[in-house]
Chains A and B, each alone.
Chain A
Amino acid sequence: EAGVAQSPRYKIIEKRQSVAFWCNPISGHATLYWYQQILGQGPKLLIQFQNNGVVDDSQLPKDRFSAERLKGVDSTLKIQPAKLEDSAVYLCASSWREGPDEQFFGPGTRLTVL
């Protein structure tokens, strides 16, 4: 069974530029999560999708971050414009469904904003 795929693995941009990350969850998983992990901290949930609907985006900075999950499969996370404090690893995870099901994580995308 293929795991959660993410791309790119690394990205370096200058502040005020835009960037997009892509995630392909495990086949059949209905729930998809995006987490932000700042260096030295644990991951923090940005947004949770159930199929193509948003379940929780309470910690997503909506003035600059957006995410979509078209057709309930792949997802993209966009930052526009980026700030220095957005430098972090962006982790995507998926699970069969909402609730207590185990989440499986992708390798992450490391973003550096200069």
Chain B
Amino acid sequence: KQEVTQIPAALSVPEGENLVLNCSFTDSAIYNLQWFRQDPGKGLTSLLLIQSSQREQTSGRLNASLDKSSGRSTLYIAASQPGDSATYLCAVRGNTGKLIFGQGTTLQVKP
């Protein structure tokens, strides 16, 4: 049974810092891995999707890496801003499309 774990559960950093969010999963047989952002009271916004054959994806200040063999992914946020404050969710996708989510990391970036 696939399990996804995110560490840390919460993180508070001053504005401008670079930071790394971690995600681990127990079964390496995945189609892809996706990072989402969730603002309070809102739905999920997709940030980056990494196919199982890829090692990383970049979008602006965000970079996500995938090491399928070790069951790990990281989301790197460069030069953090207060607007980056949100909960970040990692999810892995199996062959039916079902997403298995981690519990999320709540990020606060202080001005």
Contacts and interface: CB of A to CB of B under 8 A. Distances in A.
A91 B43 CA distance: 7
Interface of A: 4, 31, 33, 35, 40-45, 48, 55-56, 91, 93, 95, 97-108, 110
Interface stretch (B13-21, B65-73, B88-96): B88-96
B31 A108 contact: no
Given A42-B103, A91-B43, 18 more contacts: A4-B43, A35-B99, A40-B104, A41-B104, A42-B91, A42-B102, A43-B99, A48-B96, A55-B96, A99-B31, A100-B51, A102-B34, A103-B99, A105-B44, A105-B46, A106-B43, A107-B42, A108-B43
B43 A98 contact: no
A45 B93 contact: no
Contacts of B49: 102
Interface residues on B, range: 20 to 34
A17 B58 CA distance: 47
Interface of B is mostly: strand
B41 A42 contact: no
Contact of A44 (B42, B101, B104): B101
Interface in B29-77: 31-32, 34, 36, 41-46, 49, 51
Contacts of B104: 40-42
